[in-house]
Amino acid sequence: MTRRDAVKLTLAGAAAARSAFAFDDTYQPDASNLKAREWFQDAKFGLFIHWGVYSVLGRGEWVMNQEKIPIAEYEKLAPKFNPVKFDAAEWVGMAKSAGQRYITITSKHHDGFAMFGSKQSKWNIVDATPYAKDVLKPLSEECRKQDVKLFFYHSHLDWHHADYFPRGTTGQTSGRPDSGDFNRYLDYMDAQLSELLTGYGEVAGIWFDGIWDKRGADWRLRRTYDLIHRHQPHALVGNNHHLAPFEGEDFQMFEKDLPGENTTGFSGDSKIGRLPLETCETINGAWGYNAGDKNLKSTKALLRYLINAAGRNANFLLNIGPKPDGTVQEDFVTRLKEMGAWLGKNGESIYGTRGGPITPRPWGVSTQKGSTVYAHVLDWPDPVLPIPRLARKVKSAKLLGSGEKITITNWGDQLLLDMPSKERDAIDTVVVLETV
């Protein structure tokens, strides 16, 4: 079964399980949390990092399940994981120069391996690898130094822990006993989260994934969310359950789809709610390091994803899967640098904006900040572009960058924008509309 099939298969089950979560309406985010939500929406662009012992094999983060590797065999990867070239300052610097304002890194993925010095189990980077050092510590320190916020991705699903029982649709071939205490597993997970929320300074949020694995289970979500908010009230909780948000969550996420789209089949039940939005995507097809996947998206395609997300009021979390030695493949680094260069020139139309008054169109999207509206023209087949007349009067229009004035003509309930063809940009022609 492929990862995608596993997720799809369980979506219906997860929806059915919704009632089992026993949600009430008592979650009151405090002022720091509401402020963090604003910061998050202003930040717009983050770096997703999928890193773990699976990178040793270089066949993605699902390799244990896909290749039916039993725990005893899989554990042999840990002694081979020695990321001596890992440099936290370099990683954070790379994110910064890409224009990314936060990092979301796997503290634990589905293989259960903790990338930090957890005291809850020896299955962690300090106790099980020759590297013997916590990578999240220096990363958190560097993030603070370089003013980048840090989120932890934490998998609910666990293919390694004996108490993850009854098992879900995945992790059937890991060779665990056919018994276990699921509540004890959840206690273990909460204890690991407490370690992350007390030992790494300010944590911007927790990014959950994996409850789609077990239909109808009581995941004690609200209890876990409350624990997080007790430790760090501002921390933003998001859960990649592919459903509408639950009580206690602070942002809503989408995977490989813009909000409102469902090309993956994951997002059919993800009705867009009122929380801040985020969508994540890979540079090639893999989350964890996949040496054989050379199917790279272009910088232009990735920038357009960012622009399309911003126009739909959503952040973009762009993934890299570092190598087992701690370096990041050159193809990825180049793209990140190029994105940063574009944002250096056009960032005012992205950062601090919200989805604009012109809903997504075949030609592009809009963003807005105060009385300024940015029309992001991605495909402009005609010298004249009709846009809907805005609720506020447009007093001027110019190109972002060159500042060249754009002539606007009123035409019925539309405004016609006229622009010389030589000024069009291959990635995004940004027209700045000042309104009164």
**Ranges within 211-240 binding ligand FHN (CB under 6 A):** 240
Work out which of 111, 255, 278, 425 binds ligand FHN, going by CB under 6 A: 255
Query: If you count DSSP H runs as helices and E runs as strands, how many of each does the chain have, helices first?
Result: 11, 16
Q: Which is nearer to ligand FHN, 163 or 255 (CB)?
A: 255
Q: Give which of 316, 366, 357 is closest to 339, Cα–Cα.
A: 316
Taking the complex as a whole, the smallest distance from the CB of residue 40 to ligand FHN amounts, in Å, to 17
Binding of ligand FHN by 111 (CB under 6 A): no
Taking the complex as a whole, the smallest distance from the CB of residue 385 to ligand FHN amounts, in Å, to 35
Binding of ligand FHN by 278 (CB under 6 A): no
**Ranges within 39-98 binding ligand FHN (CB under 6 A):** 61-62
The helix (H) or strand (E) run that includes residue 153 is strand 149-155
Question: Within 13 Å, how many C-alpha atoms sit on residue 421's CB side?
Answer: 4
CB neighbours of residue 404 within 10 Å? 14
Binding of ligand FHN by 258 (CB under 6 A): no
Q: Which is nearer to ligand FHN, 142 or 257 (CB)?
A: 257
Query: Dihedral of CA 70/73/75/81: which sign?
Result: negative
Q: Which is nearer to ligand FHN, 233 or 292 (CB)?
A: 292
Binding mask 1-40 for ligand FHN (x = CB under 6 A): --x---x---------------------------------
Q: Which is nearer to ligand FHN, 293 or 434 (CB)?
A: 293
Binding of ligand FHN by 137 (CB under 6 A): no
The helix (H) or strand (E) run that includes residue 368 is strand 364-369
Q: Which is nearer to ligand FHN, 59 or 376 (CB)?
A: 59
Taking the complex as a whole, the smallest distance from the CB of residue 151 to ligand FHN amounts, in Å, to 13
Q: Give which of 396, 390, 401, 398 is closest to 425, Cα–Cα.
A: 401
Binding of ligand FHN by 209 (CB under 6 A): yes
How is 9-53 classified by DSSP, letter by letter?
HHHHHHHHHGGGG---S-----HHHHHHHHHHHHH-EEEEE--SG
**Under 8 Å between Cβ of 164 and 180:** yes
Taking the complex as a whole, the smallest distance from the CB of residue 240 to ligand FHN amounts, in Å, to 5
Question: Within 13 Å, how many C-alpha atoms sit on residue 417's CB side?
Answer: 29
- # binding residues, ligand FHN (CB under 6 A): 9
Cβ-in-10-Å burial (0-12, 13-18, 19+) of 38 comes to exposed
Q: Which is nearer to ligand FHN, 110 or 176 (CB)?
A: 110
- Distance from C-alpha of 425 to C-alpha of 419, rounded to nearest angstrom: 11
Q: Which is nearer to ligand FHN, 255 or 425 (CB)?
A: 255
Binding site for ligand FHN (CB under 6 A): 3, 7, 61-62, 209, 240, 255, 280, 287
